[in-house]
């Protein structure tokens, strides 16, 4: 079975640009998560979807970050406009359902550098 | 307030030794505690997990010890191998599947 797929693996953007990161969850999984990972802040939840419905939108990340789940097998994270402090690894994860504490399966991440 | 705390931030052990990674949490409603292992360039992957009804979970060389009263748990890696060198994240989850991660412990196992 294919795991979580993320594209691109690396992205370099100029300050002020719009970038879109893509994620394909494990087939059949109902929950999808977007995280940002940095050495200083660790893993921070950006968005959480359950059966395509947005459950959490990450509070502090609301203004420039927008995650969408276009269908059950594809999600995007748009950052607009980008700032240098957005440089981080963006991880997508999926789990089977929200009814119990199911294992989250992570993708390899997209490493973003904003100049 | 950080919900999950880990210590130490980094740990170096020799091959064959036991590595002990510590974790504590704040919210007493947390009832599921997965540990994730992350290698450079990869996403975290579930290593082992425990539910709050148990005080110990073993899987090969990896054992979780859980103390509900003190809201603490630890991951013991016996007979550590260089291939165990990675960052280990303790996490805590509630019944709504919200999960909170600690900042991780970077483990280095020297041959």
What is the per-residue pLDDT for A25?
96
What is the per-residue pLDDT for A1?
60
**CA separation for the pair B97, A49 (Å, rounded):** 11
Probe site for chain A from B43, B59, B94, B100 (most A CB atoms < 10 A) = B43
Q: What is the pLDDT of residues B42-57, one digit of tens each?
A: 999 999 999 999 999 9
Using a CB–CB cutoff of 8 Å, tell me whether A74 touches chain B. no
Statement: residue B6 has pLDDT above 70: yes
Q: What is the pLDDT of residues B51-98, one digit of tens each?
A: 999 999 999 999 999 999 999 999 999 999 999 999 999 999 887 767
How confident is the prediction for chain A on average, in pLDDT? Answer: 90
What is the per-residue pLDDT for B23?
98
pLDDT tier at A102, thresholds 50, 70, 90:
confident
* Mean pLDDT value across residues A58-87: 90
pLDDT tier at A36, thresholds 50, 70, 90:
very high
Q: Please tell me which of the candidates A101, A105, A107 has its beta carbon nearest to residue B93.
A: A101
**CA separation for the pair A90, B26 (Å, rounded):** 26
What is the per-residue pLDDT for B1?
72
Four-CA torsion A91, A97, A100, A103, nearest 10 degrees = -40
Q: How distant is the Cα of A38 from the closest Cα of chain B, in angstroms?
A: 10
Q: Which has the closest alpha carbon to A44: A55, A52, A36?
A: A36
Using a CB–CB cutoff of 8 Å, tell me whether A30 touches chain B. no
Q: How distant is the Cα of A11 from the closest Cα of chain B, in angstroms?
A: 14
Statement: residue A80 has pLDDT above 80: yes
Q: What is the pLDDT of residues B9-38, one digit of tens each?
A: 999 999 999 999 999 999 999 999 999 999
């Amino acid at each position: 079975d294919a795991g979580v797929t993320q594209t691109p693996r690396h992205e370099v953007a100029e300050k002020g640009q719009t970038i879109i990161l893509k994620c394909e969850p494990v087939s059949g999984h109902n929950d999808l998560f977007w995280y940002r990972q940095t050495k200083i802040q660790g893993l921070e939840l950006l968005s959480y979807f359950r059966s395509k419905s947005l459950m959490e939108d990450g509070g502090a990340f609301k203004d420039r970050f927008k995650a969408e789940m276009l269908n059950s097998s594809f999600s995007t994270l748009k950052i607009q406009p980008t700032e240098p402090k957005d440089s981080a690894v963006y991880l997508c994860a999926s789990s089977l359902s929200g009814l119990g504490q199911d294992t989250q399966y992570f993708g390899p991440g997209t490493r973003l550098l904003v100049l | 307030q950080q919900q999950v705390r880990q210590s130490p931030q980094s740990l170096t052990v020799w091959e064959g030794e036991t590595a002990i990674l510590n974790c504590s949490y704040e919210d007493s409603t947390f009832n599921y505690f997965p540990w994730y292992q992350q290698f450079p360039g990869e996403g975290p992957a579930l290593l082992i997990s425990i539910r709050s009804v148990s005080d110990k979970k073993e899987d090969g060389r990896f054992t979780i010890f859980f103390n509900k009263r003190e809201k603490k748990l630890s991951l013991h890696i016996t007979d550590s191998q260089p291939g165990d060198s990675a960052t280990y994240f303790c996490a805590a989850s509630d019944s709504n599947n919200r999960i909170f991660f600690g900042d991780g412990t970077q483990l280095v196992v020297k041959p």
